[in-house]
């Protein structure tokens, strides 16, 4: 059953079990899994066109290389769902465009290489499958374009890239849900047995609401005493067109410099520097990119992959995409109800990793919606910000530190 676009909320046949605010990748994943639980779902989207903000600007990368076991688990689960996406959405023709090219975190410095090796050991113990530490000939055989002085790398072959367009199409084609566009929610009011959602097209009554509004989620929790603790950040990625970049080259992260590149159809995508991720006041759409980004991007990928000197001289095109998202206090997603408003749920705070974690997040949240139960001790719960437990920041969430390791 494909997603139905309705013109006005009052065209709804009945009061929905769940309203999902936002049609980004997180909102779509939530609505898809909730509809699979048999719930009636209405997605409310402020823009005239669905999924047109941050989710369209992502690097489309997926990795399960994380430090903390719960982040490893949700990413591994999500990548597995993408791997078998055709089955999930009941249409084998609609794969998620998953290509396991691998993620390679590499260094030219002995102390950083030793830290990568130690991290690989910790990750394997924490349940990360397929992680390996490479050095010497094994490393240079895996990635022959690496500079000769690269001494060690963490590598996981199952990490890679997906296609956001294919995923959006797959979810939309397979969810029994309604979507209303051009309708901005400005307030959420819990009421007896449900919620009342105040929108630019009037009030909508529902059994529960899921805030999946990306960077704009933070404003929707004003007035709730136990809101998730999140800040807004912006990040950029440069897309370049050039001939000869091998399409199966692993995503390469220079942990010494903090740069990242990965091959793309007809070129590559580059994040020049993770410290270029800045916290901003509000979730501005398309915030201004930094001038000189292209030169900076080229300068930061050449030391580890010297072939970039050659490619950079022959670039056919380049453009920068910038987007904003919500970063939680510990860098892990926030998935669950508000402690003081049990019918108001959060699916957000993915801290720059919403594409690679949202299938697992959508599935988990939908289960809570269907069962009406959640575990306040869960590491993704909203309770974690308020119950006095010590939060351990995810070291591999680049937005909490200046450095990706």
Ligand X SMILES: Cc1cc2nc3c(=O)[nH]c(=O)nc-3n(C[C@H](O)[C@H](O)[C@H](O)COP(=O)(O)OP(=O)(O)OC[C@H]3O[C@@H](n4cnc5c(N)ncnc54)[C@H](O)[C@@H]3O)c2cc1C
Least distance (Å) between residue 320 CB and ligand X: 9
Q: By Cβ distance, which residue is nearest to ligand X?
A: 24
Least distance (Å) between residue 337 CB and ligand X: 17
Least distance (Å) between residue 141 CB and ligand X: 26
Tell me how far apart the alpha carbons of residues 222 and 184 are, in angstroms, rounded to a whole number. 16
Least distance (Å) between residue 386 CB and ligand X: 22
| Cβ burial, residue 145 (10 Å; 0-12/13-18/19+) | middle
Q: Is the Cβ of residue 39 or residue 238 nearer to ligand X in the bound state?
A: 238
Q: Is the Cβ of residue 236 or residue 305 nearer to ligand X in the bound state?
A: 236
How many CB atoms within 10 Å of residue 389?
A: 12
Least distance (Å) between residue 388 CB and ligand X: 28
Tell me how far apart the alpha carbons of residues 195 and 377 are, in angstroms, rounded to a whole number. 25
How many CB atoms within 10 Å of residue 24?
A: 30
Least distance (Å) between residue 61 CB and ligand X: 3
**CA dist list (Å): 394 to 23, 66, 298, 327, 400:** 27, 8, 28, 11, 8
**CA dist list (Å): 222 to 186, 188, 210, 217, 354:** 10, 9, 15, 10, 23
Q: Is the Cβ of residue 53 or residue 113 nearer to ligand X in the bound state?
A: 53
| Cβ burial, residue 326 (10 Å; 0-12/13-18/19+) | buried
Least distance (Å) between residue 121 CB and ligand X: 25
Tell me how far apart the alpha carbons of residues 189 and 209 are, in angstroms, rounded to a whole number. 10
User: Which residues bind to ligand X, rule: CB under 6 A?
Assistant: 21-27, 44-47, 53-55, 57-61, 184-185, 212-216, 235-237, 321, 323, 325, 348, 350, 352-356
Q: Is the Cβ of residue 44 or residue 154 nearer to ligand X in the bound state?
A: 44
Q: Is the Cβ of residue 321 or residue 386 nearer to ligand X in the bound state?
A: 321
Shortest CA distance to 171 belongs to which of 355, 337, 326?
355
Q: Is the Cβ of residue 216 or residue 249 nearer to ligand X in the bound state?
A: 216
Q: Is the Cβ of residue 194 or residue 360 nearer to ligand X in the bound state?
A: 360
152, 106 in Cβ contact below 8 A?
A: yes
């Amino acid at each position: 059953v494909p997603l139905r676009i309705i013109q006005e909320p009052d065209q709804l046949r009945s009061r929905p079990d769940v309203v999902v605010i936002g049609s980004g990748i997180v909102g779509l994943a939530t609505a898809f899994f909730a509809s699979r639980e048999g719930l009636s779902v209405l997605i409310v989207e402020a823009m005239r066109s669905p999924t047109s903000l941050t989710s369209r600007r992502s690097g489309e990368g997926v990795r399960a290389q994380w430090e903390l076991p719960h982040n490893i688990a949700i990413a591994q689960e999500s990548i597995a769902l993408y791997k078998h996406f055709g089955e999930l959405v009941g249409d084998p023709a609609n794969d998620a465009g998953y290509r396991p090219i691998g993620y390679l975190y590499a260094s030219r410095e002995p102390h950083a290489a030793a830290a990568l090796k130690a991290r690989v050991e910790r990750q394997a113990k924490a349940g990360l499958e397929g992680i390996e530490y490479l050095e010497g000939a094994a490393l240079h055989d895996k990635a022959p374009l690496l500079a000769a002085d690269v001494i060690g790398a963490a590598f996981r072959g199952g990490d890679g890239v997906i296609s956001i367009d294919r995923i959006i199409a797959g979810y939309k084609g397979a969810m029994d849900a309604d979507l209303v566009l051009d309708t901005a929610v400005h307030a959420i009011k819990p009421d007896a047995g449900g919620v009342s959602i105040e929108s630019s097209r009037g009030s909508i009554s529902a059994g529960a609401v899921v805030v999946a509004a990306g960077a704009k989620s933070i404003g929707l929790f004003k007035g709730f005493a136990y809101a998730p603790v999140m800040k807004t950040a912006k990040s950029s990625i440069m897309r370049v067109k050039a001939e000869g970049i091998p399409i199966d080259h692993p995503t390469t992260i220079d942990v010494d410099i903090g740069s990242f590149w990965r091959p793309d159809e007809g070129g590559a995508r580059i994040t020049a520097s993770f410290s270029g991720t800045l916290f901003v006041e509000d979730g501005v759409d398309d915030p201004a990119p930094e001038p000189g980004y292209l030169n900076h991007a080229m300068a930061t990928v050449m030391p580890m992959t010297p072939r970039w000197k050659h490619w950079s001289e022959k670039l056919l095109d380049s453009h920068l995409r910038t987007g904003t998202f919500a970063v939680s206090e510990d860098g892990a997603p926030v998935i669950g109800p508000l402690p003081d408003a049990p019918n108001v749920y959060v699916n957000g705070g993915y801290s720059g990793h919403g594409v690679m974690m949202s299938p697992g997040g959508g599935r988990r949240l939908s289960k809570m919606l269907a069962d009406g139960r959640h575990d306040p001790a869960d590491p993704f719960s909203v309770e974690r910000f308020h119950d006095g437990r010590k939060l351990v920041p995810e070291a591999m969430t680049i937005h909490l530190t200046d450095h990706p390791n």
